[in-house]
Each structure stands twice: as structure tokens, then as C-alpha cells.
Homo-oligomer: A and B are copies of this chain.
């Protein structure tokens, strides 16, 4: 059970949630954070993706998160988490969240949940970890941007078929994600915001976690505010992949204008109605919730 089942804390004989349990709880608190414009929340389902499927996705991801906490290889832990997550009928619920959570859980379990600690976890990934990441795409359909020019052989949509090309190039998981983290244009926005976290030591995750810790009230309200702040900060890269740069900028600018959760409610209905889903920002919110829970935020 890798430390999840009730080792006492300083307060006595109460069990304490370990990193894998906190990561699962972060997934649940993320989907319960309301409103999160364009995403599934307590008040909204998407056309083909329901709240209950996120619950099942979080529960299913737990064994992979336990593997990350136990020190198993990052790529295997991630693939196990994604395989478990996909055991529901909605398709991809939390692939991006898990890509962020797995190294964070590993760093937390190793006792160093800091930018430096998680950077070390990412830097230590191998070609085998990259292969696990590619295999994970075979469990579920994930919306991704086209690969950078000249890297068609490493297109993640090839799944396990890309593994020989990975091995030939000796590309580690960090190498693969570095290619996805590069800016797409002169704005400096990365191709994929989750990959950028991997490369840069999770700066947005840790900042948002501090904001959640400094905030007050129910954790799901704090999650919603953190989501809006993250969305106002940088274009959501899933929105850009699906709807183009102009829509991504419009969403970012609108998020910057929203002054309260009440004001965000109406906008949430609008985005859901238009099918615009800032999913990468939800991924970052889940990662930030995990760090906040590990740093003592109480539910």
C-alpha cells in the first residue's frame, strides 16, 4: 500500500493522506471547482463528457499514482494511471492532469516537492519513460497539436509505433516534452503548457498552489479562482490547438476581465455552449491543488 494506509502523523493515530491519495483528491477537487468556464464542473457537463466520468477517471488513476509514489519508473506509472483513468465511457478526462501529477507525486514522495525536486525527477527520465508516455496514448484519444516540423516520426498520435524512432534518437521523456514546450510563435506561448511545466520546474503550478493556500473559503471555490487567474495569465494551449490563436486570445482576455465567481457563471455557460474547453488550464489547476494539499491546505 506504499504508505497510504494509516501511518500515524504527529497528532496521534490518525492516518494521513499520502501523495497518491492527495493527487487523486486533487483530481476530484479540480472537477468540483465551480465555475470553471468551458470545463465540466459541479453545475455543468459537456456534450459527451459527464461529471461522473471524471469521478471514475480519478478513482481509476489511483494505482498509477501509487506507483509514482512508490518510486516506479515515471513512464510506467503514467501509463498505468492513464490506463486506469480510461476505464470509463467518456474518453479522455484527465490525461494532462496526470502528466503533471506523476512527477509531482514522485517528488513529494521523495520528500522534495519543490521546483528543484520536480526538475530532478523530470531530468532523470529515460527513453523507457518516453516509451511509456507514448504507450499511454493508446489507451485514450487525446487532443494534441501537430508535432514540431521534422518530428513527424515522434508524433505522439503514433503511440507505441513511435517507440523505435524514440530509441534510435535516444529521446528521453523530458526530451520529448521539451520539443512540445517550445514557443509556437513570437508571443512566446509554448506549444503545450503542460510540457512547459515539465521543462521549467512547474512555475505556474507552484505559483497557483501558493495562491490557493493564501486564499480563503471552500477549496473548490479557491480552485475556481485559481483556474480563472491561470486562464487570464496565458492562452490555454488546448483551446489554441482546437480553435486557433484568435479564440485562445479572446478567452484569455475575457478571463482577465472576470472579477468574481458570480460573473464567471454566465461566461461558463457561454463557453460550454460554444464547445470551447480550456482543458490545459484545468490540468494546471489540478496540479496546483495537489501541491496545495501537500502543503497543508485542509478540505
Q: Does A67 contact B (CB under 8 A)?
A: yes
A35 within 8 A of B: no
Provide the bound-state CA to CA distance between A29 and B52, in Å.
7
Contact bitstring A2-33, B, C-beta under 8 A = 1, else 0? 00111000000111110001001100110010
Cβ of A63 within 8 Å of any chain B Cβ, yes or no, is yes
Q: A15-B63, A50-B218, A63-B1 are in contact. Are A25 and B83 (CB under 8 A)?
A: no
Q: Are A66 and B1 in contact (CB under 8 A)?
A: yes
The answer to whether the Cβ of A225 comes within 8 Å of any Cβ in the partner chain is no
User: Is B63 touching A25 in the complex (CB atoms < 8 A)?
Assistant: no
Interface extent on A, as a size class? 35 or more
Assess whether A6 is in contact with B63, with CB atoms less than 8 Å apart.
yes
Copies in the complex: 2
Cβ proximity bits A61-74 to B, threshold 8 Å, 1 near / 0 not: 01110110000000
Determine if B52 and A32 form an interchain contact, defined as CB atoms under 8 angstroms apart: yes
Q: Which residues of B have CB within 8 Å of A17?
A: 56, 59-60, 84, 87
Q: What is the interface of chain A mostly: helix, strand, loop, or mixed?
A: helix
Minimal Cβ-Cβ distance residue in B for A63: B5
Given A42-B51, A55-B32, A60-B17, answer yes or no on A66-B5 (Cβ-Cβ < 8 Å): yes
**Which residues of A are interface residues toward B (Cβ below 8 A)?**
1, 4-6, 13-17, 21, 24-25, 28-29, 32, 42-43, 50-53, 55-56, 58-60, 62-64, 66-67, 80, 83-84, 86-89, 139, 218-220, 298-299
